[in-house]
Structure 1
Amino acid sequence: MIPSWIIIGAVTFFIGLGSFLITPRDVKWFAQLRRPRWLVFEPLIPFIWTVIFISGAASAYIVWEKNPGSLITWLLMALYVLVEIITVAYIPVMLRFRSLKIGETLGLIGFISAVILALCVLLISRLAALLLLPYLVWTPIGTYTTDELKEQNPQDA
């Protein structure tokens, strides 16, 4: 039997590969957008998301281990997967459609889904809920940044 932490880590990793659905043409559009002067942390964003995904996977592992295989646990795993898919879709979908509004909307949907997940997980494990805190803190920052990009680039909203 494969340990649950390997399966959860593999699922997280493979969903994360969806971020590679970006074409050079899409990146060029995004690179040409005007940015707010305070956006100095942009090079750190991949590292921030790496920490967030690892924390989310650790949270899922804790929840799974509390009651492996139960219907509630499977439903929570599905919610973890949904949150990750929404999160990973943010960049490729926004770039493909060249729409900051789509990115902002996905960010908001991801945040709301993660709040629901965190509230459900809190009933099972405080530590698992705490591990979702990086996502819950960072996602509004990313969504706000996208909103600011919309303000600076109204033609690309």
Structure 2
Amino acid sequence: MIPSWIIIGAVTFLIALGSFLITPRDVKWFARLSRPRWLVFEPLIPVIWTVIFISGAASATIVWQKKPGSLITWLLMALYLVVELITVAYIPLMLRFRSLKTGEIFGLIGLILAVVLAICVLPISFIAALLLLPYLIWTPIGTYTTDELRELNPQDA
């Protein structure tokens, strides 16, 4: 039998590959946008998201190992999956539609669902809920940054 951490890690990795739906044309649009002066951490964003995805996969693994195969666990795995899908869809959809508002909406939906997930996971495992903190901390920062980009680039809102 394949260990749960390998399956969860593989699913996380495969979904994260969805970010390759970004085309060079889409990236050019985003690169030309004006940015806030305080946005000095932009080169670190891929590293930040890697940490967030690893933490989320670790959280899901802990939940699975606490109550393997139960209906509640399967529902939580589905919620982990939805949160990751929304997270991965954020950038490609924002770039494809050239709409910062789209990115902001997806950021807010992801945050709300992650809060629900953390609340549901907390009674099962405090550590699993704690591992969701990087997402819960970073997502409002990313969403706020997108909102600031909208303010600086109203033609691309």
1:35-91 CA deviation, whole Å, 9 max, x = no partner? 000000000000000000000000000000001000000000000000000000000
Q: Partner residue of 1:87? A: 87
| Cα distance in 2, alignment partners of residues 70 and 11 from structure 1 | 19
Q: Normalization by structure 1: what TM-score?
A: 1.00
Map 1:67-78 → 2, pairs under 5 A: 67-78=67-78
Task: Percent identity, please.
Answer: 84
Q: CA RMSD in A?
A: 0.3
Q: Please tell me the residue identity of whatever aligns with 1:143.
A: T
* TM-aligned CA deviation for residue 23 of structure 1: 0.3
Whole-angstrom CA distance in 2 between matches of 1:95 and 1:123:
38
1:10 equivalent in alignment to 2:10: yes
Residue ranges of structure 2 left out of the alignment (5+ in a row): none
1:105 positional shift:
0.2
> Given the alignment of the two structures, is residue 132 of structure 1 paired with residue 132 of structure 2, yes or no?
yes
Q: Which consecutive segments of 4 or more residues in structure 1 shift more than 6 A?
A: none
- Corresponding letter in the other structure for 1:16: A
1:34-113 equivalence runs, <5 A: 34-113=34-113
Mapping of 1:109-124 within 5 angstroms? 109-124=109-124
Unmatched 5+ stretches in structure 1 = none
Cα displacement (A) at 1:121: 0.2
Aligned length: 157
